[in-house]
Amino acid sequence: MEFAIGIDLGGSHTAAGAVTPDGAIIQQAERDLVSLEPAAVVDEIEQVVQQVLAATGEKDCTGIGVGSPGNIDEKTGTVNFSPNFQWVDVPLKAMLEKRIKHPLHILNDARCATLGEYLYGSGKGVAEFALITIGTGIGGGFISGNRLILGEAMGAGEVGHHVIRPDTGFFCTCGKRGCFEAQASGTALLRHALATAPSFPRSTLLTRKPQDKWGSKMIRKAAAKGDDHALAAWRNWLDDLALGVSNIISFTNPAVIALGGGVGQADPAMLSGPLTLKVDALTTMIPKGITRIVTAELGNDAGVIGAAALARLGGTRQLTKPLNGVATAPAVKAKS
Ligand SMILES: [Zn+2]
């Protein structure tokens, strides 16, 4: 059966999946990234691709799509800047093409996830759609008029770095202060817990035992159980998330905003429910309640499925055309 391979390049591991035209993953592989050095990352990508191809056979593979963090030059496939990988001008596509012979396409990871959710998940049939991925950082992507919005330099959807707390906010990896990502990502939830700690001198929330995983999940779990300190952090975090989401609504007026990434999967009773009320209170120039805030449907697979769709469409040039109907259309047999 015909398939394309989608690669999702994350901060700690890289995942690859062989994806059929109807969005089903028929084979997958995953590897931890031991180093974020470009040469080491390229090695790992080559390995996951080989693993998938070994299991599926090469002849039905129509192409490979890579979802990479950062701002990416559309023509050359160079990653201009990725604060999370600390990459500047990394010629990722050229490096990969020396190792992989299939047609190769590269797009920002959050835009790949947006494409995946739009074609096969929470955005199916939604002409005005936005995805916000909330994990270590915040990524995003917009669909408008059934087109994936790329912007003049592939930067449309970089919602994580619009500033919401310029004076009092946390510092961001991009160099600014009070970015949406610094205030409302998973990592930010931990920051809010640290910031509220002086008000809870007896709290054991941040007391770390050797077996504990130190991260946003422990705050989220404690908040779900009613821990006062965790709830204070969660509420402050939710206020910042609502501020950013209400801005995004005023930028593009979507019908649906899907919350993806690890934190986006939180119980709707804790997340999308209260968030909707806060966002409505901050929505002024657009009728309240127009935008539905939902949980993304493809989970961690959105990036892989979207990257494979990019490959099947034959690259970013196809994304400027309306995409309704392409999920079921045949693959484009274009060169990379
Ligand atoms: Zn930033």
Centre of ligand 1 to C-alpha 137, Å, is 9
Q: What is the pLDDT of residue 328?
A: 64
In this predicted model, what pLDDT tens digit does every residue of 30-52 receive, in sequence order?
Answer: 999 999 999 999 999 999 999 99
Q: Which CATH class is domain 3-109+299-328?
A: alpha beta
Asked if the domains at 3-109+299-328 and 122-295 fall in one CATH topology, the answer is yes
Provide mean pLDDT across the span 206-224.
Answer: 85
Is residue 87's pLDDT more than 60?
Answer: yes
Q: Report whether pLDDT(330) > 90.
A: no
What is the percent of the chain where pLDDT is above 70?
A: 97
Mean pLDDT of 276-299: 94
Q: For residue 123, what pLDDT is reported?
A: 97
- How many angstroms is it from 21 CA to the middle of ligand 1? 35
- The predicted pLDDT at position 336 comes to 43
| Tally of CA atoms within 13 A in the half-sphere of 293 that contains its CB | 28
Ligand 1 center to 182 CA (angstroms): 7
User: How far away, in angstroms, is 49 Cα from ligand 1 center?
Assistant: 32
pLDDT tens per residue, range 156-187: 999 999 999 999 999 998 899 999 999 999 99
Residues 6+ apart with CB under 8 A from 291: 249, 253, 254, 255, 256, 257, 279, 283
Alpha carbon of 50 to ligand 1 centroid (Å): 35
**Residue-level pLDDT at 316:** 87
Instruction: Report the pLDDT value the prediction gives residue 136, as an integer from 0 to 100.
Output: 87
CATH of domain 122-295: 3.30.420.40
- Mean of pLDDT values over 207-219: 81
β-pairing, 61-68 vs 3-9, is parallel
How many Å lie between the centroid of ligand 1 and the Cα of residue 83? Answer: 9
- The DSSP-derived string for 268-314 is TTTTHHHHHHHHHHH--SS-TT-SEEEE-SSGGGHHHHHHHHHHHHT
Residue 326 has pLDDT above 90, yes or no: no
User: Average pLDDT, whole number, for the chain?
Assistant: 93
pLDDT at residue number 333? 61
When pLDDT is cut at 50, 70 and 90, the band that residue 24 belongs to is: very high
Residue 59: other Cβ atoms inside 10 A: 7
Instruction: Let me know: does 64 contact 102? Beta carbons within 8 Å.
Output: yes
Instruction: Over range 5-20, report the average pLDDT.
Output: 94
Q: What is the pTM of this model?
A: 0.93
On the question of pLDDT at 335 being above 70, the answer is no
pLDDT at 209 > cutoff 80: no
Backbone angles phi, psi at 147, to 5 degrees: -110, 145
Contacts of 230 (CB under 8 A, 6+ apart): 193, 205, 219, 220, 221, 222, 223
Domain boundaries along the sequence of the chain: 3-109+299-328, 122-295
Q: Cα(89) to centroid of ligand 1, in Å?
A: 18
Ligand 1 centroid distance, CA of 132 (Å): 15
